[in-house]
Amino acid sequence: MGERGVTPDWRGIARICLSLLAFAGIGWLVLVMLVRSATFGGPGSAAQGAGYSDFDEFHLVGRMIWQGAVAQAYVLPDMLAALHADAGLPVRMPWAYPPQFDLVVAALGLVSKGTGYLVFIGGAFIFYLWVLRRLAGPEFAISVLICLPALNTCMTFGQNGFLTAGLAGAFALWMLRNSALAGLPLGLMVIKPHLAIGLAAVALARRCWKVLGLAALVVLATGVAASLAFGLPIWVGFVSAVRESSGYLRKTDGFPLYRMVSIYATARTQGLSAETALLMQGGVGLSAIAVVVVAAFRRVPPRHLLGVALLCTVAVSPYSYDYDLPMLGMAAGLLAADVRRAASGLEQIAIVALAWLSGGWLQVVLATKPPGRVIAEQTTTLAGAAYLVLVVLILAVLHRARSQGAPCVSPGAPATRHARGVALEAQTR
């Protein structure tokens, strides 16, 4: 017979369940990766039902580099023709990545698609999980689960969201240690600079000049490397492609709006004009940067500041996609403990629901799509609105946590981590 009056440790049981769910989710993602790496075919495989993904485009540009045709990737008609030839069907995927990212995809052109996918995505996924584990500590499981739909999308389409989120998380890790090495991942974020705006705002507002200096040096060094590899005219093509992509964004059939998590995309799919939607996006973007800057000057706890920066940086650009939301996992790793402590049960449910809705809107669209019908680019999306509400809700909960005077450090985190975080707080005093 068991002892009477013994209360089960429900928190411990819940933590075990979360850990099991998280590892099951990771196992599922590994399975998706293995299946995807085995199903990539040669030219025309998309026409045979395999689908054409973002990684297919990465691999195509990698091959174009070795063929001496990388400049054509930045010319929209030429790129669309190359995509059509590679996919076996019309595909609209403009190439407007900085030349530094061309250095990354160049290596993919030397191997098959399946091998390249396995190395690129597998390596980035391991890097992502390693950084997240170090950043989140005991909050690792919930950090994985809260962005699981986005992780699945990133894995399925072979995008670089694991890499960019891993770099953003590494920036946060080094900032917590008051290390100038934070400038290294910040500089490498040049491959997707719009996702680094909130991070740069933290370093600038906190006057972390060594961090910003190293970041600038990394951007310069990688830019020189790209210039030596591809020639100076590559920059002219890049600038032209960015300008052309901006015009492409205004077209209702330009980009898959239902995949975007920006307020611009939500507004456009609700019938608003491109000008009005861009105006709304500008207001949201400026507000997001302002939140980060104000938080920095008010000296909020370092983990809160960096978590808010990770959340807000995704909301700045109209080009933010569902596969960029692995960044949300890094933010959760920094904020989950304090959010759970200050949020009501209903608020916690709302946070998870909004996170899944933001990162998993594609699954909603696929589930409600009539069989055999192609998804239109202007299909309604609420992902951007859901993400905006998510950010506002988390900000409100964090404000309440600070008002209650709760300690802002993850329970069970090593004392050295807290001490290093305090160093960032004291840096500009």
Q: Per residue in 294-332, pLDDT tens?
A: 999 988 999 999 999 999 999 999 989 999 999 999 999
In a domain, 26, yes or no: no
pLDDT at position 378 is 72
What is the spatial distance between Cα 237 and Cα 185, in angstroms, rounded to a whole number? Answer: 26
Handedness of CA 226, 230, 235, 241 (dihedral sign): negative
Confidence of residue 366 (pLDDT cuts 50, 70, 90): confident
For the chain, the straight-line distance linking the first and the last C-alpha, in angstroms and rounded, comes to 60
In a domain, 205, yes or no: yes
% of the chain exceeding 90 in pLDDT? 69
What is the spatial distance between Cα 311 and Cα 300, in angstroms, rounded to a whole number? Answer: 15
pLDDT at position 43 is 44
In a domain, 281, yes or no: yes
Residues 33, 155: contact at Cβ < 8 Å? Answer: yes
Range in 115-119, 134-138, 247-251 the model is least confident about: 247-251
What average pLDDT score do residues 236-246 get? 89
Split into its structural domains, the chain has a count of 1
Containing domain of residue 280, as a range? 49-250+257-423
pLDDT at position 94 is 87
pLDDT at 423 over 70: no
What average pLDDT score do residues 113-139 get? 95
Contacts of 374 (CB under 8 A, 6+ apart): none
Confidence of residue 16 (pLDDT cuts 50, 70, 90): confident
What is the spatial distance between Cα 155 and Cα 135, in angstroms, rounded to a whole number? Answer: 21
Confidence of residue 414 (pLDDT cuts 50, 70, 90): very low
pLDDT at position 403 is 80
Q: For the chain, count helices (H), then strands (E).
A: 21, 0
Residues 106, 94: contact at Cβ < 8 Å? Answer: no
Q: Per residue in 33-79, pLDDT tens?
A: 999 888 875 444 443 334 688 999 999 999 999 999 999 999 988 99
What average pLDDT score do residues 16-35 get? 92
What is the spatial distance between Cα 236 and Cα 233, in angstroms, rounded to a whole number? Answer: 5
In a domain, 40, yes or no: no
In a domain, 35, yes or no: no
In a domain, 93, yes or no: yes
Confidence of residue 252 (pLDDT cuts 50, 70, 90): low
Confidence of residue 412 (pLDDT cuts 50, 70, 90): very low
pLDDT at position 373 is 67
What average pLDDT score do residues 249-262 get? 79
pLDDT at position 372 is 64
pLDDT at position 42 is 46
Confidence of residue 417 (pLDDT cuts 50, 70, 90): very low
In a domain, 9, yes or no: no
Which residues lie across from 321 on neighbouring strands?
260
pLDDT at 411 over 90: no
pLDDT at position 4 is 55
Confidence of residue 426 (pLDDT cuts 50, 70, 90): very low
Confidence of residue 406 (pLDDT cuts 50, 70, 90): low
Confidence of residue 408 (pLDDT cuts 50, 70, 90): low
In a domain, 36, yes or no: no
* Closest to 193 measured CA to CA, from 173, 236, 161, 164: 164
> What rounded mean pLDDT belongs to the chain?
87
